Amino acid sequence: MRRLLVLLVGGAAALMACSSKSSSSGDDAGTPTGKDQATVEQGKTSVVSRECVKCHGQNMAGAVQPIVYPATGTPDPNIELYPPNLTPDANGIMSWTDDQLALAIRSGVDETGLELCPQMKHFSTMNDYETYSIIKYLRSLPPVNQKILRSVCPPLKTKQEQQAGK
Ligand code: HEC
């Protein structure tokens, strides 16, 4: 009886260890989903597969010329999109926290809580693993000292604000 109890207790402990492990390592297929599993390598893959590089540039240092928007059809004359510098420079993401960056990527809100131009699409279903992998990758990049002009997407961001150097 005593032995059985030991076995039972041991089994329960093993089960608990097992279930806590599987919750941090993601779904049944073993795909990582957690922040703590983020890797620079995954981030590097994601900025290409998610097409961040198409707008923010291969080096993620932003666009000095506005990008053509929309990519096909007639460009909207009221919209001027300058994808910002996302390298760890003073002109880039140096002052942003990881969580602020995650919010920008997934919810389109900047580090001050203001909405970003909606043309920067919201990656709302991106899991923590991928989001924080991208952030880790951005922080691993060589800083590029390049100032990017503010975007214009009225009524959210106006030409006047851009001209005022905001
Ligand atoms: C269609 C082009 C486009 C794509 C694709 C795109 N972005 Fe952006 N992104 C922008 C533009 C334009 C802004 C600036 C919006 C604004 O100023 O309101 C922006 C802003 C940001 C910001 C806020 C930075 C700041 O200084 O304000 C972050 C962070 C960001 N993008 C990350 C990403 C990541 C990561 C991806 C890929 C998962 C991505 N973007 C894909 C165009 C794009």
**Per-residue tens of pLDDT for the chain, all 166 residues:** 444 444 444 444 444 443 444 344 445 678 888 999 999 999 999 999 999 999 999 999 999 999 988 888 898 999 999 999 999 999 999 999 999 999 999 999 999 999 999 999 999 999 999 999 999 999 999 999 999 999 999 999 999 999 998 8
pLDDT at 159: 96
Does the C-beta of 123 come closer than 6 Å to ligand 1?
A: yes
Report the alpha-carbon distance of residue 36 to residue 133 in Å, rounded: 9
pLDDT at 13: 44
Does the C-beta of 138 come closer than 6 Å to ligand 1?
A: no
Residue 119 Cα, ligand 1 centroid: separation in angstroms? 8
pLDDT at 28: 62
Beta carbons within 8 Å of 37's beta carbon, 6+ residues apart: 24, 25, 26, 129
* CB count in 10 Å sphere of residue 63: 18
pLDDT at 23: 41
Does the C-beta of 50 come closer than 6 Å to ligand 1?
A: yes
Specify burial of residue 77 (Cβ count, 10 A radius: 0-12, 13-18, 19+).
exposed
Q: Are the C-beta atoms of 25 and 35 separated by less than 8 Å?
A: no
Q: Whose CA is nearest to atom 40 of ligand 1?
A: 52
Report the alpha-carbon distance of residue 163 to residue 166 in Å, rounded: 7
Residue listed under structure tokens 């290409």: 48
pLDDT at 27: 53
Report the alpha-carbon distance of residue 96 to residue 3 in Å, rounded: 56
Residue 86 Cα, ligand 1 centroid: separation in angstroms? 8
Residue 33 Cα, ligand 1 centroid: separation in angstroms? 22
pLDDT at 70: 85
pLDDT at 26: 46
pLDDT at 30: 80
Pocket test for ligand 1, best of 45, 56, 79 (most atoms within 8 A of CB): 56
Q: Are the C-beta atoms of 144 and 59 separated by less than 8 Å?
A: yes
pLDDT at 22: 39
Q: Whose CA is nearest to atom 22 of ligand 1?
A: 104
